[in-house]
Each structure stands twice: as C-alpha cells, then as structure tokens.
Structure 1
Amino acid sequence: MKTSTDFEIFLAAPPGLEMVLADEIRLKGFKRPRIVPGGVTIRGGWPEVWRANLWIRGASRVLARLTSFHVRHLAQLDDLACAVDWASVLRPDVPVFVEAHCSGSRLYHSGAVSERIGRAIHKTLGAPLAESDAAEVVTVMARIDKDVCTLSLDTSGALLHRRGFKQAVNKAPMRETMAALFLMRCGFTGNEAVVDPMCGSGTFILEAAEMSARLNPGRGRSFAFQHLATYDAERWEMMRGVKSTRDGGAMCFGYDRDAGAVRMAGENAKRAGVSDSVHFAQQPVSALEPPTEKPGLVIVNPPYGARIGEAEALIPLYRSFGRIMRERFSGWRVGMVSAVPRLAHETGLPFVAPEAPIPHGGLRVSLFRTDPLA
C-alpha cells in the first residue's frame, strides 16, 4: 500500500450526519464520496489522507483501509495477518496498538483477534506492541463482520474535534466536529453573521469564525500518519503551509450570562487566531438584539435538563428565547440543538421537520431549525 494511489479512505461521522459530511467532502474537492453507515468513504492515496485530516471539519477520524479477507478461525487469522505487507505502512520503531471489534462471525473474541494480529505485526516487522492508543502510538483497527476481516489504520490519532486551540471548556461542551456539521446543516457557508446567545466556551462561534476565514481545522495539531512509513515530512509541510484564508469574513457573536464562560471563549478565540472576527460579551438572553442589519444565523445549544423535573424548570427560558426570536430577529434563521423535543417546541418557533436524533454525550440530540423568520 506504500505506493498505492487508489485505496479506500473512511471518514467517520456521528450517525445521522453522514449526508452533511459527504456534502463537505464533495465541496472540498475529494472524489467519489460515498455515504456508508457511520461515515463517508472516498478513494485516493496518502496525500488525500493528509488533506482529509487537515481540511475536513465534520469528520471525527480518518481511516486508511489496508486490506480485507475472509477468516473463520484463529490459525487462519495468524497466516493471513502475517501475509499483510506491514512494512509498507508501519515503522519498526513506532509502537502499534491493535483494536478489534467482532460481530456476527465465528471469531467473536475481540481480545484474541487483537492479540493474534499484534503478534503477526511484531513477528513480521519487529514493531513493539502498545497496551493503549496513547500519543506516539499507531493504531491498527480490525473489524470482523460476518467472517470478513477489514484492517485499517487510524491516521488521525487524537479525535479530530481536538483542534489544538480550545484549552478552556465549560460544562458539557459540544464537540467541534458536531458543531461544524450542525452549522453546515443550517446552511452556513461563512458569508453571514452568526449569533450564539448561550455560547459557553464558544464552540459554535469559533467554528463559524474559522469557516468564515477559511482556516484549516487541522492547522494547529499533529496526526498519527506522521508516524507511518508512508509519511513524507517535506511534502506534508508544503501542504500544511498553503494558506486559503480570506479577510473580511462575517463577524460572529457569542453571549453568555456566565462571565467565566465568556472569558474562556475569548481565550480560545485568541489561541485559534480569530479574535478579530468574533465578539463575546456577558449578557442574558433577554438582552439579545440583532448585532447586524443584515440577517444571518442564530444557533444555540441550551441546557436540556438531564434529570427528571429539570426540563420543567427550563420552559420559561425556552419560551423567552422563542419570543425574542419572533419579535426581534425577523429574517434570521434559527438552529437549536436539544435532547428534549418538547422544550424546543415551547419556543413557538416554526421549525422544519427535524432529522433523527444523534448521539451526543450520552444523550440523543436533534437539530431543530427554521427558515428565515417572518
């Protein structure tokens, strides 16, 4: 696979947001995106793997498919795993961690599968085996489904929502990757103002500001592919050094009643290099006014009320937010993330039909969105 320029690359997404991710991948110029459960596949070579990690906002990780084969017993797995050309992609001096998942197959013990594949890698390549997917470790992912084993390399390492800038977070933050996908689902392309009246540590606003400035989401971090035998440091530095930023993008506005959250958001914006295109301020939802004459997007991830009875106490907040949107934000679109549909509908906003709920932080949330308000 070292010299191959046409293998399958899998970009993972939260179930239910695969279509949004496919649209982003297509817009970024990647060829033949195909939606599959849990993500999108494309075809390409190692430069496409590097670009996907650097450019794509909505993917949580990027996997390079190595090979697939039928396997029904452990002795057969030993032989087939030893036949893989590990030296073409792995380095003998970099520790390897093998993660296995089995379903509907005669080989059902994931621990035994990972042990046998790890043994094959060490035997044929000499690479040390790691006990976890820590930093400076390359992860080989084995999936056995209906007696078909698919071997992939995790080329990302730390999940891609970890952009490298957001050190300060508040309680229950939304992952940057999901925030970016929700912004795209609301039709945001970087050409309009964005307002988050309950911004917390600023995830929506920072993602919107970076999208508006055309900043690559992976510009401030390292990746697992830098520890592979296929890595070309000089070529990667040239790729990462290409600037696609634009000046004069739309301003993004974040507000929160918590002074600490506003301070954290400002610090995160400074680290991300978008301080000039964002504005954070401490204020309650009741004080919210349109910050620009031209309508844009209001997007919010309000509290849901995780325990029984808490949702009832939040009804006044949702009703107040809906009233302010209807009375003051004519022409603006609204996006709201909520795990409690009843609370979202308490706003009285004319939401279009929501998509299926999406897993998030142990809950299942839905994006409720409107067309431009009358």
Structure 2
Amino acid sequence: MTKQADFEIFLATTPGLESVLCSEVRLKGFKKPTAVPGGVTIKGGWPEVWRANLWVRGASRVLARIVSFPALHLSQLERRTRQVAWADILRPDVPFRVEASCAGSRIYHAGAAAERIANAIEKTLGAPQAPDAEIVLKARIEQNVCTISIDTSGDLLHKRGHKEAVNRAPLRETMASLFLLQCGYTGAEPVLDPMCGSGTFVIEAAEIAARLNPGRTRHFAFEHLVSFNIEAWQQMRAVKSSRTPTAHFYGSDRDAGAIAMSRANAERADVTGCTTFTQQTISTLTPPDGPTGLVITNPPYGTRLGDKAQLAALYRAFGQTMRERFSGWRVGMVTSEPTLAYATGLPFLPPAAPVPHGGLRITLFQTAPLP
C-alpha cells in the first residue's frame, strides 16, 4: 500500500447496528459503504480516514487496513510482516503495540502472533514497542489469512472530547446517534428526553441539527502517523458546516444532579442555545410549544438500576403521559426488558433485534406518530 492508493477503511460499530451506520456513512458521501459483520467498510485514502474520524457519529473506531496475506505458521507471519513498507506508515520515533486475534487458523496463539508481528516491525523500522502506546496495530488471523490494520482513532469515538460528566448507566454517544437515525431523525424536528440522565440523546440531537462534527474537539491516533499533514488536517477541521437549528431540544429528569450534569455537558458541546433542561417528573411532563417531534429515552432497566416491579410503575406512568398528552409525537424507547416496554401500553412497531450494551442486550422500541 502506498500513501496515495485507496485502501479499505473499516468503521466499527455495535453488532446489530451495521445497516444503520451504513446509512449514515452513505449520507455523508463516503465511497462504496458496505455493511459487514461488526461495522462498515469504505474505500479511500488517509484524508478519508481523517474525515471518518471527524464526521461519522455512529462509528466506535476507524481502522485502516494495511495489508492482508496468507500465514500458516509464525515464521511465515514474521517474514511477510517484515516485507511491508512500514516506513511509509509508522514513525520510528513513535511507540506502537500489536493486538492479535486468531480464528479457524493453524496459527492459534494470539499472544505469540502479536509478539512476532511486533518484533518484525521493530526490527524493520526501529520504532519502540510499548504496552500503553497510543498507536495500536490490530492483526486478525482468520482461515489462515492475516489482516493487519491500524486503529486510527485512539480513544473510542464515543468520547467526543466535550462531555465530562456522566450518570451511573450512560448510553454511549455513538449508539445514541444511531438510535436517533433509526427513529428517522434528521435534525429538523424537536427532540425530548424525559429521563435524560447526562443529556446524551438531547445533546446528540442538537449537534446533528447544528451540523457540528462529533470529533471537532478531540485528538486522534492518526496524528502520529507518517501520512499525517498538519496543514491539511487544520484546513479540514476549519471548514464551517455548522448552522443554527430550526428546532429546539429538551431534556428533563427528576434528579437535580442529572440536570446540572446535562447543562454542563451541553455548554461544553456548544449547544446551550438550542437545548433546555428542567427538573421534573414524568407525571408533570407536557409537550413543548411548537411542532411535534420525537420523544426518545433510555429509562432505567431492572438489571441495571433498580427493582423491576418498582420500575413497571415508572414505565406505566411514562406510557400514560405519552398517550394522554403527546398526540402526534413519535416515541423511541431503549430498554433491556420487553415486559417493561410493553407495560407502557404504547403501540410499538415490531422492534429490531436486540444489540449488546454494557453486558446486557438492549432493544429500541418505537412508535408511529401517536393518535
């Protein structure tokens, strides 16, 4: 692979949300997005790698696929690794580390494979290995073929760089953005979360409406690669795509601490002008003035923050408030407990398959506009 040639770029996401991420990537104009298990592949060069990290909301990390070759034993793996033009990719003064996984291959010891690859790179390039290095090469050996990729993101991409405070059971920003997209949200309608926690859904919705790039305030691992060009990157980041949203975004929670947290996060994200957070209970909730939109929430679930029997009352109250006061609004609800979802009495459409989150499997339930 040369620096100029297009290569495969893999955008990782939560299994089960690949097609939703593919829709986002297609909307953002990337070449040949294809949903594959665990993510989406696109074709491009290093500028597309930077852009994917900067622009894409639903990806958890962006991997640049460097090389693929057959490897039947460790000495072949090491020899083929040494043939890669690492000096075009990695800097000799920047530490790196290698993580490996093996499946259905004659090379079955991931630790030994990682060690051979790392030693080959160190001997070829002179770059030091370090267990806490920010530059991570990921080697996947599957059916006797080794694919080596670079994690170009560094920290996982849900760490937007402008959200510090989180509540006890946060939904990751990447996942929240994909659930918003799944509910048909485009940025043109109001969004309300009546159990907003640290404000994730409200802030993501406001950022989408304001066309703010999710990676605008953070650092990425690709800044330490040979291909990185500081002037070109600064130009890319400086492009002003933002606009003033036409809609407003609302969060409420019965917990005063959650509201303080949400306001602080909204301020860091620069969306205070289009967001409002208020302390109130579900039973006192009324729709804001103006057009109807989307109510979306990630309420507590039994295995997470409380007893299911107590929670059923909360879900019933939520459903009653929606049915009685939110005519014309759509509702999206994320929960690990279908019985709690149906306790709302809301007319949910058939749900998509559950997706993994924090050791649980959660499902997005959604309605058409309420009668």
The answer to whether TM tops 0.5 is yes
Residue by residue, what CA displacement relative to the aligned partner does 1:18-38 show, whole Å, maximum 9, x if unpaired? 111000000001111001000
| 2:298 is the counterpart of 1:285 | no
Verify the 8 A CA contact 1:5 1:46 in the aligned structure 2.
no
Q: Within 1, Cα distance between the matches of 2:66 and 2:143?
A: 18
Equivalent position of 1:273 in the other structure:
270
Residue by residue, what CA displacement relative to the aligned partner does 1:126-168 show, whole Å, maximum 9, x if unpaired? 00001134xxx21100000111100000000000000011111
List structure 1 segments (4+ residues) > 2 angstroms apart after TM superposition. 1-5
Deviation, 1:286, is 0.7
- After TM superposition, the structure 1 stretch with the greater mean CA deviation from structure 2, 47-56 or 247-256, is 247-256
Same amino acid, percent of matched pairs: 62
Q: Within 2, Cα distance between the matches of 1:117 and 1:138?
A: 14
- Structure 1 portions without partners, runs of 5+: none
Residue by residue, what CA displacement relative to the aligned partner does 1:94-120 show, whole Å, maximum 9, x if unpaired? 000101011111111110011000001
1:21 alignment partner AA? L
| 2:234 is the counterpart of 1:234 | no
| Equivalent residue in structure 1 for 2:353, among 330, 352, 356 | 356
Verify the 8 A CA contact 1:200 1:256 in the aligned structure 2.
yes
Verify the 8 A CA contact 1:2 1:230 in the aligned structure 2.
no
Q: Within 2, Cα distance between the matches of 1:248 and 1:197?
A: 21
Q: The residue matched to 1:299 in structure 2 has which SS?
A: strand
| Equivalent residue in structure 2 for 1:345, among 342, 345, 356 | 342
Q: The residue matched to 2:31 in structure 1 has which SS?
A: coil
Equivalent position of 1:50 in the other structure:
50
Q: The residue matched to 2:233 in structure 1 has which SS?
A: helix
Q: Within 2, Cα distance between the matches of 1:2 and 1:231?
A: 14
Verify the 8 A CA contact 1:193 1:292 in the aligned structure 2.
no
- Structure 2 portions without partners, runs of 5+: none
Q: The residue matched to 1:8 in structure 2 has which SS?
A: strand
Relative to the length of structure 2, the TM-score reads 0.98
2:334 alignment partner AA? V
Q: Within 2, Cα distance between the matches of 1:308 and 1:27?
A: 36
Verify the 8 A CA contact 1:72 1:105 in the aligned structure 2.
yes
Deviation, 1:307, is 6.8
Equivalent position of 1:9 in the other structure:
9
Q: Within 2, Cα distance between the matches of 1:236 and 1:314?
A: 48
Residue by residue, what CA displacement relative to the aligned partner does 1:283-312 show, whole Å, maximum 9, x if unpaired? 011111001331100001001011798212
Q: Within 2, Cα distance between the matches of 1:129 and 1:292?
A: 58
> 1:182-221 alignment to 2 at 5 Å?
182-221=179-218
Equivalent position of 1:118 in the other structure:
118
Equivalent position of 1:334 in the other structure:
331
Deviation, 1:173, is 0.5
Assess, with a 3 A threshold, how the Cα gap between structure 1 residues 241 and 74 changes in structure 2: closer, same or farther.
same
Q: Within 2, Cα distance between the matches of 1:89 and 1:257?
A: 51
**Root mean square deviation, CA, Å:** 1.1
Verify the 8 A CA contact 2:188 2:245 in the aligned structure 1.
no
Q: The residue matched to 2:102 in structure 1 has which SS?
A: strand
Q: Within 2, Cα distance between the matches of 1:325 and 1:72?
A: 59
Verify the 8 A CA contact 1:214 1:244 in the aligned structure 2.
yes
Assess, with a 3 A threshold, how the Cα gap between structure 1 residues 96 and 325 changes in structure 2: closer, same or farther.
same
> 1:53-72 alignment to 2 at 5 Å?
53-72=53-72
| Equivalent residue in structure 1 for 2:362, among 354, 365, 372 | 365
Q: The residue matched to 1:84 in structure 2 has which SS?
A: coil
Alignment length, in residue pairs?
371
Q: The residue matched to 1:33 in structure 2 has which SS?
A: strand
Q: Within 2, Cα distance between the matches of 1:23 and 1:340?
A: 27
Equivalent position of 1:304 in the other structure:
301
Q: Within 2, Cα distance between the matches of 1:248 and 1:119?
A: 52
Q: The residue matched to 1:229 in structure 2 has which SS?
A: coil
Equivalent position of 1:222 in the other structure:
219
